[in-house]
Structure 1
Amino acid sequence: MDIQAEKLNLIKWLTDIDEPAVIRSFIDLKNKQQADWWDEIDEQEKAEIEIGINQADNGETLTHEEVMAKYDKWRSK
């Protein structure tokens, strides 16, 4: 695939679109690509991530096998 040719094809296609809702969708997509996921989550989620990072830094982790054993009853067999 020639990426430059594909970009040009997309540009041409985009210039022919007259539907405002479609244009807004592309603008939203562009803005989402520029946003950092950290800025998209709430404070509670950030706090829980920080707790997990601190636990990992302090060696308070489980092996994969320990986690799988703990949740084995919910896993598909």
Structure 2
Amino acid sequence: MNTQILNEKLELIQWLSTLEDASIIKKLMQFKKEETKDWWDSISEEEKKSIEKGISEADNNELKPHSEARKLYEKWL
């Protein structure tokens, strides 16, 4: 692991161990909860259906060439 990141993590641990402000602790807990959410739970039903359709098509060898996908999505690329 990167030494700088390790040092920053240790600094945060030390700071957290001395922290007594309940509001900051509560905010940190909320941040932790939000960061560990499954991204699947935060996308729309339409997005989920689209992903599931793609997986199904891939499982059934119904894949499209990259060039076709690129044409379809080029406005977002």
Matched, 1:6 2:8: yes
Counting matched residue pairs gives 73
Matched residue type, 1:35: K
2:51 to 27, 49, 52: 49
Could you tell me how far 1:11 is from its partner in structure 2? 2.0
- Correspondence for 2:63: 61
Q: 1:58 to 1:42 in 2, by over 3 A?
A: same
Whole-Å Cα distance in 1 between the matches of residues 60 and 54 of structure 2? 10
Aligned-pair Cα RMSD in Å: 3.0
- Correspondence for 1:18: 21
Q: TM-score, normalised by structure 2?
A: 0.58
Percent of pairs identical after alignment?
A: 41
- Correspondence for 2:30: 28
Gaps of 5+ in 2: none
Q: TM-score, normalised by structure 1?
A: 0.58
Whole-Å Cα distance in 1 between the matches of residues 65 and 54 of structure 2? 14
Could you tell me how far 1:16 is from its partner in structure 2? 3.7
